[in-house]
Structure 1
Amino acid sequence: MSAAVLTPKALPTPDIGSRLDPRRNSLNLIRLVLAFSVLLAHSWHIVGDGAGWGFRGENLGGWAVAGFFGISGYLITASRFGNRIGPYLVHRVARIFPAFIVCLLVMAFVFAPVAYLIQHGSLSGFLQTPTTPLNSVFANLSLRIVSYDIAGTPAGVPYPGAWNGSLWTLYFEFLCYLLVGLMGFLPIVKKTPWPVIAAFAVSVLVWANVGLIKPYLQSNLDFELAARLVPFFLGGAVVQVLSHRIGIHKIAGPVSLAIAALSIFFVDGFGGQLAAPFIAYGLLWISTWLPQPAIVARHDISYGAYIYAFPVQQLLAVFGAYHWGVWWFTLAATLCTIPLAAASWLFVERPVMRRARKS
Structure 2
Amino acid sequence: MPSYVRQAGRRAVATVPLSNAYTGRANSFGFLRLCFAVAVVLAHTAVIGYARPLTEVVDVAGLGVAGFFGISGFLITRSARRSSLPRYLWHRALRIWPGLWVCLLFIGLVVAPAVWYADRGHLDGLWRHPSGVINFLQANWWGGYRQQGIVSVFRDTPYGELVRRSVLDGSLWTLSYEITCYLIVAALAVVGVLRRVRWLVLAAGVVVFGLLCWNQYAMLRSGGAPVWTSGSLGPLPLLGGLSKIWFLRFGFMFLVGAVAELYSDKLPISDLLGALSLVLVGWQTLEGHLFGPALLAYEYAILYLAVRLPRLLHRVGQTNDYSYGVYIYSFVVQQTLAWLGLAAWGFVGYFALTMVFTGILAFLSWHLVEKPALRLKDWTPRLPRRTATAPADARAEDRAAGPEPARVPLDATTGRG
- TM-score band w.r.t. shorter chain: 0.7 to 0.9
Mapping for residues 263-302 of structure 1, pairs under 5 Å: 272-288=291-307, 289-290=309-310, 291-292=312-313, 294=315, 296-302=317-323
Task: Specify the SS of the correspondent of 2:157.
Answer: coil
Q: Distance in 2 between matches of 1:216 and 1:308?
A: 28
Query: Which residue of 344, 362, 376 corresponds with 1:355?
Result: 376
Mapping for residues 49-60 of structure 1, pairs under 5 Å: 49-53=51-55, 55=57, 58-60=58-60
Task: Specify the SS of the correspondent of 2:159.
Answer: coil
Q: Is the 8 A contact 2:103 2:328 kept in 1?
A: yes
Mapping for residues 29-40 of structure 1, pairs under 5 Å: 29-40=31-42
CA change 1:185–1:14 in 2 (3 A) is farther
CA RMSD of aligned residues (A): 2.7
Q: Which runs of 5+ in 1 are unaligned?
A: 1-12
Q: Distance in 2 between matches of 1:16 and 1:341?
A: 32
Instruction: Give the superposition deviation at 1:221.
Output: 5.5
Instruction: Give the superposition deviation at 1:68.
Output: 0.7
TM-score by length of 1: 0.86
Which piece of structure 1 moves more, 127-136 or 35-44? 127-136
Mapping for residues 195-344 of structure 1, pairs under 5 Å: 195-207=200-212, 208-209=214-215, 211-214=226-229, 222-246=243-267, 248-261=269-282, 272-288=291-307, 289-290=309-310, 291-292=312-313, 294=315, 296-344=317-365
Mapping for residues 13-52 of structure 1, pairs under 5 Å: 15=17, 18-52=20-54
1:180 aligns with 2:185: yes
Task: Specify the SS of the correspondent of 1:167.
Answer: helix
Q: Is the 8 A contact 1:46 1:322 kept in 2?
A: no
Q: Distance in 1 between matches of 2:231 and 2:114?
A: 44
Instruction: Give the superposition deviation at 1:293.
Output: 7.7
Q: Distance in 2 between matches of 1:193 and 1:261?
A: 31
- Whose radius of gyration is greater, 1 or 2? 2
Instruction: Give the superposition deviation at 1:262.
Output: 5.7
TM-score by length of 2: 0.75
Percent of matched pairs sharing the same residue: 31
Amino acid at match of 1:65: V
Q: Is the 8 A contact 2:73 2:253 kept in 1?
A: yes
Q: Distance in 2 between matches of 1:297 and 1:333?
A: 24
Amino acid at match of 2:47: H
CA displacement 1:149-172 (0-9 Å, x = unmatched): 113201321012100110010000
Instruction: Give the superposition deviation at 1:191.
Output: 3.8
Q: Distance in 2 between matches of 1:276 and 1:298?
A: 30
CA change 1:14–1:28 in 2 (3 A) is closer
Q: Distance in 1 between matches of 2:53 and 2:374?
A: 36
Instruction: Give the superposition deviation at 1:87.
Output: 1.0
CA change 1:293–1:243 in 2 (3 A) is closer
Q: Which runs of 5+ in 2 are unaligned?
A: 1-14, 161-165, 216-224, 235-240, 381-417
Q: Is the 8 A contact 1:42 1:61 kept in 2?
A: yes
CA displacement 1:257-315 (0-9 Å, x = unmatched): 2344466678x86x534233432232232233233284643100100110000001111
Mapping for residues 140-155 of structure 1, pairs under 5 Å: 140-155=140-155
Counterpart residue number, 2:66 = 66
CA change 1:70–1:192 in 2 (3 A) is same
Q: Is the 8 A contact 1:16 1:247 kept in 2?
A: yes
Amino acid at match of 2:157: V
